[in-house]
Amino acid sequence: MNTPVCEFRAAKLLIQTKTWILFHLDDTFHDHSNAETAAMRAVFYQIQRDHKVSVADLETDWKDITTRPVQYTPTLRCESAHGWQARHFTELLSATDCPDDRDYVTQLMRAYSLEYLASLALKPGLLQLIQLLKAQGKNIAVLSRIVTDRPYSMLSRLGIRGIDPPIIDRIFLDSDYGLLGEPMNEMFVMVLQHLGIKPVDALYIGDEGVLPARQSGITAIMIDDTWPDDSFVEMHGASVMNTMIMQDLKVLKRFVIT
């Protein structure tokens, strides 16, 4: 049986063979849920101020709108995150008998975006992990399926973009390459083509997209903050490496240190 020590060595060797490390932006660099909760509260409070609707009612209606079953048409499958948000904000206003004109929806979306960016916090261990990888000569790319230029603002807010010398070599947005609404497999194929590398040269780290990455031939590590603490990795290193799932970035950083 492989021991955790052997598995840690195997992980280090695996990372050493890769020339490009691909990170998924959302929930790998930051906690999306916390930022989204704060952003939606800002939206609710603005509607409350403008139209005297209780926040509790808005929260209830929003939950109903975002959790109801959806019959996906070809149009909805290709809907951008921006379009999804505009449609749902319009439904929220209609549900509470508030004016749902386009200008007001745009105003709410701006309030959401500003509060979302203000609430972002870099996940512990992420910056140190990237710095360790860069020190080992690795190239770093960030992948995002967020529409518009928000990923650039997010990276700046998180303190990752703008570091001198730069620690992010490439940023890939699916909307920049005509892949909006396409399966994530297509994004990985596009990234490999633009970087001029083979799947074996890349390692993907993210909270989602792990299966599409593997289907594209890329080794993938899933980050899952809901996993147990570090003692789990110490006790079950073999099973962790076999499934390539890590608790968080602090645990993964230990696999990189030489």
Percent of the chain with pLDDT over 90: 34
The answer to whether the beta carbons of residues 146 and 30 sit under 8 Å apart is no
Query: Are 91 and 206 within one domain?
Result: no
Among residues 67, 96, 118, the one where a domain terminates is: 118
Query: Residue 180 belongs to what domain range?
Result: 4-30+122-256
| Structural domain count, the chain | 2
Q: What is the pLDDT, as a whole number, of residue 119?
A: 92
The answer to whether the beta carbons of residues 43 and 62 sit under 8 Å apart is no
What are the tens digits of pLDDT across the range 165-218? 889 999 988 767 666 666 777 889 999 999 999 999 999 988 778 888 888 999
Among residues 57, 83, 118, the one where a domain terminates is: 118
Q: What type of residue is 80? A: S
Determine the Cα–Cα distance for residues 16 and 84; give it in Å rounded to an integer. Answer: 40
pTM of the model: 0.75
Mean pLDDT, the chain, whole residue set: 79
Confidence band (pLDDT; 50, 70, 90) for 227?
Answer: low
Query: Are 130 and 175 within one domain?
Result: yes
